Amino acid sequence: MIGLIKKELMLLTIGGKSILLVLVVFLAIFLSSGSGEILSMVAVIMSLMLSLTLFAYDTQSKWDCYATVLPVGPKELVGARYIVVGMIWTASIIIALIFRIGLTLLPNATVGTDFAQIVMESLLPALAIAVVLAIALPLMYKFGVEKGRIFLFIVCIIPSIFIQTFLPRMGSMPEISLNTLMIILAVAGVLAVPISLWLSVRIYGNKDQFA
């Protein structure tokens, strides 16, 4: 599995350069304005993009065909991908936290200096993206990166349509505090990731990579 993780990390360092450039541009904007509430959101969305890029690399080179003859099974192949995605996700939280804390030290800072608030604002989008990733990865294994992105878009847009269209008709919207939302997302993430991993291994193991 270490070899597979090495491969993913090397591809990330090559493909991640453009993503890093985008992050630097955003950072420059936030530094000049002194505000950066959505920096956490930008960082975790980039972690999602980077994770999906790994699938694009494999599709481009037909790596999965070659992987069928390597002395590793679907558990290792999929497991390595989940570990690297987890590393990207964790890195995005750390980067967001560092920059958010850094922003509070600026003389023109407009962001709050409450540390607990900063942590919560950084973790909330990260937990939401963790759930999205847990849905996205099996979709990528099942449908490939092109079709998988479309399915992911559909899966993500359905709850938004439901909330915007049907919930207001059902009466007043329940008030949910940030703390409660974070607990809900954390529980959803903890439950979704192992199920996602199990599903991905099954999908990958049953797939004809040469089809």
Partner 1 sequence: MAHCVEVDSLSKHYRDFLLDAVSFVVPEGTVMGLVGENGAGKSTVIRLILGAIKRDAGKVKLFGTEWETRVPNAIKDQIGVVFDDCYFPVSLSPNQLGWTLSSIYRQWDSILFNQLLNRFDVPPDKKIKELSRGNKMKLSIVCALSHRPKLLVLDEPTGGLDPVVRTEVLDMFQTFMEDERHSIIFSSHITTDLERIADYVTFIHKGKIILSETKDDLLDRYGLFKGPRDQIEHIEKGDFVSVRVNRYGLEALSSDKEHTMRTYPQLICDQASIDDILYHLTSDQSRTREDVAL
Binding site for partner 1 (CB under 8 A): 2-4, 6-7, 10-11, 14-15, 57-58, 60-63, 65-66, 68-73, 208-210
Report, in Å, the least distance between residue 37 CB and partner 1. 35
User: Cα(140)–Cα(143) distance, rounded to whole angstroms?
Assistant: 5
Report, in Å, the least distance between residue 86 CB and partner 1. 19
User: Cα(182)–Cα(20) distance, rounded to whole angstroms?
Assistant: 27
Nearer to partner 1, 166 or 210 (CB): 210
Is 151 buried (19+), middle (13-18) or exposed (0-12) by CB count in 10 A? Answer: middle
User: Cα(183)–Cα(63) distance, rounded to whole angstroms?
Assistant: 38
Report, in Å, the least distance between residue 62 CB and partner 1. 5
Nearer to partner 1, 4 or 52 (CB): 4
> Chain centroid to CA 179: how far?
21
Nearer to partner 1, 1 or 158 (CB): 1
Judge contact between 126 and 93, C-beta under 8 A.
yes
Closest to 54 (Cα-Cα) out of 5, 6, 11, 10: 11
Report, in Å, the least distance between residue 25 CB and partner 1. 23
Tokens of 63: 């790596």
Nearer to partner 1, 57 or 151 (CB): 57
Nearer to partner 1, 11 or 43 (CB): 11
